Amino acid sequence: MKFLSKVSYSLDYKVAVDELLSGVLKSDDIACLICYCTEEYSTLAVQQHLVNALPHTPIHGCTTCHGIMTETGFHSGPVIGALIIYDTGINAYGTGIEHFGDSIEKNTFRAIDKALKNANREGEIPDLILLHSTPGNEEKIMAAIDKKFGTAVPIIGGSAADNQVSGNWSIFTEESLSVNGLSLMAVFASQSIYSSLSAGHTPTQYSGTVTKVRNRVLLEIDHRPAVTVYNEWTNFHLGDSDDGYIFEKSSVYPLGRKVGSSYDYPYFKLSHSIRETENNGIELFTDINEGDTIYLMQGCKQQLIGRAANIIHSSYYNDMEFEEKLGAINIFCAGPMLNLKQDMDEVCNQINQALDGLPYICSFTFGEQGRLSGGENAHGNLMVSSATFYRLKK
């Protein structure tokens, strides 16, 4: 099993895809291709050109915010990248894609059924699910995946992103693409996989109870306007915003909800604020419910820089000397990336050290999915999701 990452800056999709596939051995050993691109690319054109070049290969793609990252560095967009996975062992990879309809659960079930059928593994439990969806229904999708399998399937995922939270996002597989749907890849790998989801933030002294919501808009905390309370908690960190857009500034102080505890230490899933609404509410990238206890969270720069490498390191909690790393798929929230932009080279350097310079690909998303340390599935924001592939040394 081996990995190969490729990057192109060409805005001509034919040239870009040709550059991605330059030097790629087009053989039966190609298990799948994972593709991320910024919004400047036509995902339809990219998808069609990839399918023409690799007609029998599972392809899973998603738009990313402002850039991608590989072992060769942080690549600011416009940019497109791919991770090619070669796997010659007893393996299978299959994708499924569905547009959202009346029932998120039924559409998720259909996507899973397609992926398992395409992998020729119907009725089996995957080693990993790589999940991408357009923003808005992530919690329902995660719940449907658990219901479908009846057990905790390892998941990593990220919600499709664009550059300005304006809806210029999409997902695609070799079958089709969607601007309002979900896609997933069922992975049955020949080697071992460790997956993880991490927040990297700690709670401050401030907390409150959600007393009024409307869909994903937080309206009141402790019966007071949400913006008023948030400004008091953060000492007016957001400042004035003419258009109410607070996506980048709010990444420093996300809101967190306690999910569980590990060795008496609580862990949280995070919610990222997008914009202030006209009624002093805060629009979020996650669901939120009345009665939830929310905490103002914070993370120091060094924590945020190091957390992507830390969750890769954490996969080797047994015997590092007996495990050989092979490559990885990483998901990194767009908010911290924008906040750390001048430090993203250091983020890349630390990941490279954790992976011994091996190939990986990382997208920057508007929501991250995975399993927390207690096994709970979670969709959160400002988080890092990662799958590290490795084999036991002989």
pLDDT per residue over 324-383, tens digit each? Answer: 899 999 999 998 899 888 899 999 999 999 999 999 999 999 999 988 877 777 888 888
Mean pLDDT of 79-99: 93
The larger pLDDT score, comparing residue 301 to residue 112, is at: 112
Q: What average pLDDT does the chain have?
A: 91
pTM of the model as a whole: 0.90
Residue with the two structure tokens 């060769």? 72
pLDDT at 197: 86
pLDDT per residue over 223-241, tens digit each? Answer: 999 999 999 999 877 766 6
Structure tokens at 55: 């007609």
pLDDT per residue over 259-301, tens digit each? Answer: 877 667 788 888 888 889 988 999 998 999 999 999 999 877 8
Report CA torsion sign: 61, 65, 71, 72.
positive
3-state secondary structure of 366: coil
pLDDT at 263: 66
pLDDT at 319: 56
- Give kind and range of the element (H or E) at residue 139: helix 138-149
* Nearest C-alpha neighbor of 303 from the set 350, 246, 354: 350
pLDDT at 241: 64
DSSP 86-131: E--SS-EEEEEEEE--S-HHHHHHHHHHHHHHHTT-TTPPPSEEEE
* Nearest C-alpha neighbor of 258 from the set 355, 340, 378: 378
